[in-house]
């Protein structure tokens, strides 16, 4: 670490088709890969996100960051934040 984590919440998993969710639960390696794709090496606060529109994930892929006021999206998915955390 340190790391910045863009973690999917329970609703994200509930939105998956039942068969896909079952497959992920049966495949720890695939689930781990998906979750690590949401982890960025380093600490990023709002100001840094404005200056870094693409951040590399631990899996080697890129997370595309968009900030519009207090709305943050990662790969076109809205990030839920807690007031005062950003």
Per the CB < 8 A criterion, the answer to whether 67 and 31 are in contact is: no
Q: What is the pLDDT of residues 13-52, one digit of tens each?
A: 888 899 988 998 899 999 888 888 889 888 887 777 777 7
Q: What is the pTM of this model?
A: 0.67
The answer to whether position 75 is within a domain reads: yes
Confidence label for 80 from pLDDT (cuts 50, 70 and 90): low
The answer to whether position 85 is within a domain reads: no
Domain that holds residue 36: 3-79
The CATH number of the domain holding residue 29 is 2.30.180.10
User: Which strand ranges, in their side-by-side order, compose the sheet holding 77-78?
Assistant: 54-56, 62-68, 71-74, 77-78
Confidence label for 84 from pLDDT (cuts 50, 70 and 90): very low
Per the CB < 8 A criterion, the answer to whether 63 and 75 are in contact is: yes
Instruction: State the Rg of the chain over Cα.
Output: 14
pLDDT of the residue at 83: 55
Q: What would the mean pLDDT of 64-83 be, rounded to a whole number?
A: 78
**Looking at the 3D structure of the chain, how many domains does it have?**
1
The answer to whether position 51 is within a domain reads: yes
Q: How far apart are CA 63 and CA 38, in angstroms?
A: 8
């Amino acid at each position: 670490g340190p790391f910045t984590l863009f973690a999917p919440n329970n609703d994200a998993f509930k939105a998956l088709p039942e068969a896909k969710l079952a497959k992920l639960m049966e495949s720890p390696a695939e689930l781990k890969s998906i979750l690590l794709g949401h982890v960025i090496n380093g600490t990023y606060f709002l100001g840094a996100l404005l200056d870094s529109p693409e951040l590399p994930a631990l899996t080697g892929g890129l997370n595309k960051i968009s900030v519009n006021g207090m709305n943050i999206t990662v790969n076109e998915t809205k990030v839920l934040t807690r007031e005062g955390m950003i």
